[in-house]
Amino acid sequence: MQFLIQWSWLIPVYGLVGALLALPWATRLIRQTGPRPAMYINVVMTALATVHGALLLQAVWYTGPQVVSYEWLQVAGLDLSASLDLSEVNLIFLGLTAGLSLLAQMYGMGYLEKDWALARFFALMGFFEAAISGVILSSSLFSTYFLLEMLTLSTYLLVGFWYAQPLVITAARDAFLTKRIGDVLLLMGLVVLSAYAGSLRFDDLYMWVKDADIAPVAATLTGLALIAGPTGKCAQFPLHLWLDEAMEGPSPASILRNSAVVTCGAYVLIKLQPVVVISPITLDVLIAIGATTAVGASLVALAQIDFKRAFSYATSAYIGLVFVAVGTEWPGVALLLLFAHAVARALIFMSIGAVVYTTHNQDLTELGGIWSRMPATTLTYLTGALGLTGVLPFGCFWAFALGIDFLWADHPVLVGVFLLVNFLSTLNLVRVFRLVFLGKPQVKTRRTPEVGWLMAVPMMTLSIFVLILPFGLRQVSLLPPPEYFNMAALALLVGSGILGTGLGFYLPLNRAWSRSSVAPLRWVQDLLGNDFYTEKLYELTVVRLVSQLSALSNWIDRYVVDGAVNFVGAVSLFGGESLKYSASGQSQSYILTIVAGVGLLVLMTTWTLW
């Protein structure tokens, strides 16, 4: 047992080692074997991390939470140490992310088997996995930031995996820059906290918050800076653009991005919540961000015609609910929702990946009638949908129910947000299900064989997990017994789900005219389809501002600063040219000038004596 705990620092290292070992193949130093060994190495490494995490969970269950610290840098009064907090919750979430990563990598073995850069993909996945598990276990804000940035980097590289495509280039750029905005703000918060509190370990910060006397304005700014990081990571308004563009990347990475990565960001937020309470305004901002994203992204998702994007917006919406839960100080709800959402969302993205793999198409208007040809994929999609919606008692149902129950008395509006998200997301799931799986086969979906076992096994494994999740939750008594719940709340929840399902089936869907012919409806559709024109808005504001400023400074540089320099140069050259004609060659006048000059100097230096 002690042995496992002592070596727990290996958990983030496994993925890193896998990534490093894959480098000879990724850089094509080894060509004889093909890229597959790199793939196997990384799957084994992730499996090791998962198993190690599971064993640790078992150990910690009996011994209680453990903290393992490592000195990293102590210099000039600044103490930066990395430490891992082996608590039950952390380890459960480690199990979740590592397990999902393992399944996604197995899935990737099938999905990318024909890609020439397979080794690079797996190296990046290993790196990705290392950063995620590190963030989950980390018990200091400093190491969390350290790893979050590694996550940003690996997201950039994974989104930019197929770097020859123009859309991928902008997607990778936007993913990096929007996250980077959040990260730089988080870094500011980090520096401020480090200066005020002296330590960046979460425990010390929690202690410090209790009796910190800090000006309200400073507290608010610090709080806002702290939540900016998770806002960017979780693709929340206003930093949500990247997730939808990131869907240009390979599907196995999309699975992780929509489940594990956003979970990671929200998990950091939950860890920060006891610090953020230092400013009540920040909590309100959290609720506002969460509610705006939840409703807005759910609506936007409805108008998407790209298979993956329809659900990437839904991911933002669900994490928005997590933000609401954190803002109202119900971390239990947030954790449950995160967990249930992550597994079900991963399942949805696995089925999407299977369809995209088989049809080489992710345009919803060109898909249809797949259910009989790809039964396993259809089942996967349905299971994922069950896990995500609050109709039947699977994963998210309980999370929603708990949330509504807790918010019932104090925040009726937020209860409405929960119900609306449930309604809209059910509607969206049914809409997409009808378009892709039901109906007649389309031109591009006539020949659609089921995917191979490398992809099917992870899909089935996760489906079973989603189905048994409620029993598992009951087993570890994370769920209160059903009679405890407010029946009115449950009825409303189920009602909103059923309404969504019904409307989803009733809604007329026409593939040929996916853009409505009714003018007001078309306007709304365009508005939603273009994400409320957020991208345009950014282009007109932030991007334009920066580019104008940079053009301005370049102009100043070229014409004002350099202009002045060149002007001085030109004047002195010109002066020299013209002065050379004034030299007469008479030595008397030279001597006279020198004597006058020296006299003047003597006069000036001895001025005080006079």
Partner 1 sequence: MPLLGALLISTWPQKIESDQVRQGALITLGVNLVMTAVLVAQFDITDSGLQFLEKLAWMEPLGLTYSLGVDGIALPLVVINSLLCFVSAYISHGVRRPRLYYALLLLIASAVAGAFLAQNLLLFFLFYELELIPLYLLIAIWGGERRGYAATKFLIYTAFSGILILGAFLGLVLLSGTGSFDYDPSLAQTLTMGQQTVLLGVLIIGFGIKIPLFPFHTWLPDAHVEASTPMSVLLAGVLLKLGTYGLLRFCVGLFPQAWMALSPLLAWWAVVSVLYGSLAAIAQTDMKKMVAYSSVGHMGYILLAAAAITPLSILGTVLQMVSHGLISALMFLLVGVVYKKTGTRDLTVLRGLMAPERGLPFIGSLMVLGAMASAGIPGMIGFISEFIVFRGSFESQAPQTLFCMLGSGLTSVYFLLMINRVFFGRLDAAPDGTGGTIEVTLPKVSWRDRIPAMTLVLIIFAFGLQPAWLTRWMESTTNSFVPNYVNPVMSIGEASGGTLNGISNSGAIAKVSSF
Among 25, 107, 145, 394, binds partner 1 (CB under 8 A): 145
- Identify which range of 91-99, 330-338, 347-355, 554-562 contacts partner 1 by CB under 8 A: 554-562
Q: How far is the CB of 187 from partner 1 (least distance, A)?
A: 6
Q: How far is the CB of 74 from partner 1 (least distance, A)?
A: 6
Is residue 573 involved in binding partner 1 (CB under 8 A)? no
Closer by beta carbon to partner 1, 201 or else 257: 201
Closer by beta carbon to partner 1, 113 or else 329: 113
CA neighbor of 102 nearest in space, from 159, 57, 48:
48
Q: How far is the CB of 106 from partner 1 (least distance, A)?
A: 26
HSE of 182 in the Cβ direction (CA atoms, 13 Å)?
28
Q: How far is the CB of 125 from partner 1 (least distance, A)?
A: 17
HSE of 527 in the Cβ direction (CA atoms, 13 Å)?
8
Q: Is 95 helix (H, G, I), strand (E, B) or coil?
A: helix
| Residue type (1 letter), 136 | I
> Cis omega (within 30 of 0) on the bond before 238?
yes
Among 6, 58, 74, 372, binds partner 1 (CB under 8 A): 74
Chain mean position to CA 109: 24
Binding mask 199-238 for partner 1 (x = CB under 8 A): x---------------------------------------
- Identify which range of 92-100, 151-159, 323-331, 526-534 contacts partner 1 by CB under 8 A: 151-159
Q: Is 387 helix (H, G, I), strand (E, B) or coil?
A: helix
Closer by beta carbon to partner 1, 510 or else 553: 553
- Identify which range of 46-54, 176-184, 249-257, 593-601 contacts partner 1 by CB under 8 A: 176-184
Total residues at the site for partner 1 (CB under 8 A)? Answer: 56
Please spell the DSSP secondary structure of 134-187, one letter per residue: HHHHB-BHHHHHHHHHHHHHHHHHHHGGGTTSHHHHHHHHHHHHHHHHHHHHHH
Is residue 279 involved in binding partner 1 (CB under 8 A)? no
Closer by beta carbon to partner 1, 179 or else 411: 179
With contact defined as beta carbons under 8 Å apart, do 5 and 86 qualify?
yes
User: Can you name the residues that pair with 140 across neighbouring β-strands?
Assistant: 201
End-to-end CA distance of the chain: 92
HSE of 366 in the Cβ direction (CA atoms, 13 Å)?
10
- Identify which range of 190-198, 481-489, 506-514, 599-607 contacts partner 1 by CB under 8 A: 190-198
Is residue 76 involved in binding partner 1 (CB under 8 A)? yes
With contact defined as beta carbons under 8 Å apart, do 17 and 46 qualify?
no
Is residue 551 involved in binding partner 1 (CB under 8 A)? yes
Residue located via tokens 């959402």: 341
Please give the angle made by the CA atoms of 107, 129 and 205, to the nearest 5 degrees: 145
Among 39, 147, 301, 317, binds partner 1 (CB under 8 A): 147
Is residue 549 involved in binding partner 1 (CB under 8 A)? yes
Binding mask 108-137 for partner 1 (x = CB under 8 A): --------xx--------------------
CA neighbor of 386 nearest in space, from 398, 374, 375, 376:
398
Among 139, 152, 293, 328, binds partner 1 (CB under 8 A): 152
Extract the runs of DSSP E, i.e. beta strands, from 50-103.
66-75, 78-86
With contact defined as beta carbons under 8 Å apart, do 82 and 140 qualify?
yes
Closer by beta carbon to partner 1, 146 or else 465: 146
CA neighbor of 351 nearest in space, from 386, 369, 375, 368:
375
Q: Residue 28 to residues 118, 120, 344, 449, 505: CA-CA distances in angstroms?
A: 11, 9, 37, 33, 51
Is residue 150 involved in binding partner 1 (CB under 8 A)? yes
Is residue 91 involved in binding partner 1 (CB under 8 A)? no
Among 44, 68, 92, 169, binds partner 1 (CB under 8 A): 169
Closer by beta carbon to partner 1, 3 or else 116: 116
| Residue type (1 letter), 308 | K
Helix (H) / strand (E) containing 72? strand 66-75
Q: State how far the Cα of 415 lies from the Cα of 399, in Å rounded to an integer.
A: 13
Q: How far is the CB of 180 from partner 1 (least distance, A)?
A: 5
Report H helices in 212-277.
216-233, 241-245, 251-256, 262-276
Q: Residue 465 to residues 254, 347, 458, 543: CA-CA distances in angstroms?
A: 20, 10, 10, 44
Closer by beta carbon to partner 1, 541 or else 547: 547
Is residue 535 involved in binding partner 1 (CB under 8 A)? no
Among 64, 114, 164, 605, binds partner 1 (CB under 8 A): 164
Among 541, 554, 589, 593, binds partner 1 (CB under 8 A): 554
- Identify which range of 97-105, 259-267, 531-539, 541-549 contacts partner 1 by CB under 8 A: 541-549
Among 546, 596, 598, 602, binds partner 1 (CB under 8 A): 546
| Residue type (1 letter), 421 | V
User: Can you name the residues that pair with 70 across neighbouring β-strands?
Assistant: 82
Interface residues with partner 1 (CB under 8 A)? 27-28, 72-79, 116-117, 145-147, 149-150, 152-153, 157, 160, 163-164, 166, 168-169, 172-173, 176-177, 180-181, 184, 187-188, 191-192, 194-199, 546-547, 549-554, 557, 561-562, 565, 569
